[in-house]
Amino acid sequence: MPGPARSATKVFGHSAAKGDDVGTWRAYLAFHTPADGPGPLPDVERVDGGVVAGWTYLTDRMDGYERLADAAGGLAGPALLSIVCDSDFSQITGFLDGVQQWEAFIKQDTAAALEVPTPALHAAQDESLLDRITLWAQAAGAPPVDRERLRDIFARHYLFADDGLLALEQLLGIISPEVRPFGDDQRIDYEFFLLAPVGDVVVAPETIAAIGAAVQGEANPYEPNEHGHRVGFFISKDREPADVLPTFLTALRRHGLPPATRIHWHGGGRWKSLEEFEG
């Protein structure tokens, strides 16, 4: 899943991709500010702007996730632990008095497609999960949770998973509703992706260039890994995905991508194999 390393601009603790930047890789911990002091991990960056009074909000690099998780397990009251992986998906865990109460994913289908272990039941359809989040929010002193809004946050396929996490944090009373989704301030293009199967094919640079030319999109190849070889193509927002898809499929077939190659685009739901588009 990792792509080229690029810089990021921070927005109230989230690292927002700008221009040619790829997505956010960050870990976060929000908790009720202790009455007797600032709380654990004084060396970890704290965010003030946009955070609701009474909450402390920490942000760290991905390799700091475990120490944030350890801190969450030792906190009194509510705590929300989260990670954002390349802005592709977010994993969120709610704690109460150090005990995990619930865990959920923003863009769960994307996480599953990237072979991240996820629950069999989608969060938007898991009534027990929604119940537990609602009870956690009550214990955290949040305003009454709109259940259908909560369901919608998990059901939506956000362009940036960060914005789904932000929407959840706002619903749970952690972040001010005045904070705008930083996706509003991103490049206006969207991406089409291919994921060639692991051990089968590494997409050659000349093939990537030819597919990019066919769809008139800027190529963003990732390093091959245990999941396969992933390549993104930035498409101008003024072109509808339904108009781009036939050209994209034709280009993949013309250049010999195997039927097991998976395809995805922002807003397009789950990843599908090239074979599923036959006929």
**Tens-digit pLDDT profile for residues 77-113:** 999 999 999 989 999 999 999 999 999 999 999 999 8
Query: Mean pLDDT across the stretch 119-128?
Result: 96
Answer whether residue 78 is part of any domain: yes
Overall number of domains in the chain: 2
Residues 131 and 179 grouped into a single domain: yes
* Res 5: pLDDT: 23
241 and 208 inside one domain = yes
Compute CA distances 70 → 167, 183, 253, whole Å.
25, 30, 48
Both 177 and 199 in one domain: the answer is: no
Window from 26-30, 99-103, 111-115, 243-247 with minimum mean pLDDT? 111-115
Tell me: do 228 and 149 sit in the same domain.
no
Quick one: 127 and 241 in the same domain?
no
Domain boundary, last residue among 185, 201, 222: 185
Task: Please identify, among 166, 185, 204, the residue that sits at the C-terminal boundary of a domain.
Answer: 185
Which has the minimum average pLDDT: 63-67, 88-92, 216-220, 248-252? 216-220
pLDDT band at 267 (very low <50, low <70, confident <90, very high): low
Residue 169 lies in a domain: yes
Which pLDDT tens digit goes with each residue over 166-184? 999 999 999 999 888 766 4
Same structural domain, 26 and 98: yes
Closest CA to 18 of 139, 153, 189, 144: 189
| Rounded Cα distance, 231 and 209, in Å | 11
Residue that is last in its domain, among 118, 150, 185: 185
Question: Which of 230, 256, 240 is CA-nearest to residue 220?
Answer: 230
Mean pLDDT of 131-154: 95
111 and 166 part of one domain: yes
Residue 2 lies in a domain: no
Tokens of 133: 């989040």
Q: Say what the pLDDT of residue 89 is.
A: 95
- Which residue range(s) make up the domain with 53? 9-185
Residue 34 reports pLDDT greater than 80: yes
Same domain as 223, residue 113: no
- Residue 262 contacts by C-beta under 8 Å, 6 or more apart in sequence? 113, 194, 195, 197, 228, 271, 272, 273, 274
**164/129 same-domain check:** yes
